[in-house]
Amino acid sequence: MFFDPAYMIFVALPTLVLSGLAQWYVRSSYNHWLKQRNTMGLSGAEVAQRIMRAAPELRTVRLEGTPGELSDHFDPRGNIVRMSPSIAQQPSVASMAIVAHELGHAQQYAEKSALIAVRQFLLPAVQLSPNIAYGLILFGLFTQATGLLWLGILVFGLSVVFMVLTLPVEIDASRRGLALLRQAGLMQTDSDSGGSRQVLTAAALTYIAAAVSSVLTLLYYVMLAQRSSSND
């Protein structure tokens, strides 16, 4: 099916274009604002500490380093925000924005956000569903077993729901992050606020691209199933 012209036109090409543009914008925004010093002259680790002092619900969050670039993340299992070296150590606008975003995730968990709860509920199934779905879809296509094909599409749909739910979770974490920066008194200039928004908007585009790609793939599988049904 990967050589199906319909797949190339309606799934592969849009995914390639959207993902490429999103990655380019992320890298461009990140590189620009990583060079711009935030007004307070605080590193990412120092920003995190300021935010945590201003937000009581975040005071139990632990801070750790992690290797790599753009590898920053929040680990809910240990209530840990892990920061890459450039973010933890540099007093940049990008550092400020990315740390605040990860602490936004920590706040979601601390406040038991409904979106987080639904996504976590789906996570165990989603970790297995893509491989199971692909197997059922391929077997259904090769054997012309339409029922198995539809079952595979249903299982794949779980991962699509997860990807779509990820988007509002990430947008909410960015919204919370900007609010945390304001609460901690770290939004001193237009450069601080405008740069932080640009960095976080760029990051959100990668999740939009992934969600669109997963929806297009699901629609393509539905088209295959309908085509298979009409041939029965």
pLDDT tens digits along 163-212: 999 999 999 999 999 999 999 999 999 999 999 999 999 999 999 999 99
Domain count, the chain: 1
Has residue 45 been placed in a domain? no
Has residue 73 been placed in a domain? no
Has residue 110 been placed in a domain? yes
Which domain does 113 fall in, by range?
A: 5-36+102-231
Query: What gap in Å lies between CA 43 and CA 171, rounded to an integer?
Result: 23
pTM of the predicted protein model: 0.90
Has residue 146 been placed in a domain? yes
Has residue 155 been placed in a domain? yes
127 pLDDT band (50/70/90 cuts)?
confident
Alpha helices in 55-189 (DSSP H): 85-89, 93-110, 114-143, 146-183
* Selected catalytic residue, list 46, 57, 64, 102: 102
Query: What gap in Å lies between CA 167 and CA 54, rounded to an integer?
Result: 27
- 170 part of the active site: no
Has residue 190 been placed in a domain? yes
